[in-house]
Amino acid sequence: MDSPAVPQLAVRARDLTMRYTSDNPETRTIAVEGADLDIVPGQVVAVVGETGSGKSTLAKAVALEADRRDEDSPRITGGTLEVLGTTVRGIGARKRGLLRLGVGYLRQEAGDHLSPRLTVGENIAEPIFARDRWFDQDEAGRAVATLVDAVRLPLSTMNKYPHELSKGQRQRVAIARALILEPALLVADDPTAGIDVTVRASILDTLVELQLQQAFSALIVTADLGEVRRVSSHVAVMHRGLIVGAGELDAVLETSTHPYVQSLSGTLSYLAPNP
């Protein structure tokens, strides 16, 4: 049997423009304007920028969280976005649901959004049974145990409840949950937000190790410039809704003439690449 065709790009955005709907014209602003972005299969791209730069909005679109009916969902109002070879703008609910199986989404402070009524193991396994309620429970348990170990948690954690864990541990559970369906693409929106500074590096290192093992593509949003080199050598810099620099990090820092990117050079250029 022939293998399914692999898209040339995991993510392809061209002139992508997004806004949030609002009755107040002062808040009905464009969040992302004319963004172009490519992520090839197996590549990790870090999206960096100040608060309000549009990076989380871009992440929502790539994670298929745009154009939903709730008020917090941004709207794609211009350009095109393709995720895993599928056009996202105007996508129907059924097709979105199928595409979502290939996209893992780690929302901001995802560890705080685990179901308090489910054990850690049940939280991680939930996407499996949402996809197929008849899935073999023993097989699901083995998959959960493998990921719990991979995110550096004791297997005994599976029987605990989220409130029994530290914030950093809950974030590791959320990472495992986002990866339980072995997605081709992971979107992680500020994965260390709210995490104690002493464990942030280990959270990022866990993501990097899992990406190397599973070879998924990833878009990782960060507001901490010091985290960029730790997760990727490729970056997209956002400023006021625009991508003002994209490509290999050192090349972006050395060649960009945009004032915001130039202001980052002094912060980032001294950082040694992650070994």
* Predicted TM-score (pTM) above 0.75: yes
Domain housing 9: 1-102+226-275
241 touches 54 (CB < 8 A): yes
Q: 41 vs 79, 117, 243, CA distance in Å? A: 22, 36, 21
Mean pLDDT of 24-45: 84
37 within some domain: yes
246 within some domain: yes
Sign of CA dihedral 121, 123, 124, 126: positive
pLDDT, residue 28, reads: 58
pLDDT, residue 267, reads: 64
200 within some domain: no
pLDDT, residue 98, reads: 94
> Mean of the per-residue pLDDT values for the chain?
90
* CATH code of the domain in which 81 resides: 3.40.50.300
Percent of the chain beyond pLDDT 90? Answer: 72
Q: At how many degrees (to 10) do helices 137-150 and 167-179 cross?
A: 130
Question: Considering its fold, how many domains does the chain have in total?
Answer: 1
pLDDT, residue 274, reads: 46
123 within some domain: no
What type of residue sits at position 173?
V
66 within some domain: yes
2 within some domain: yes
241 within some domain: yes
74 within some domain: yes
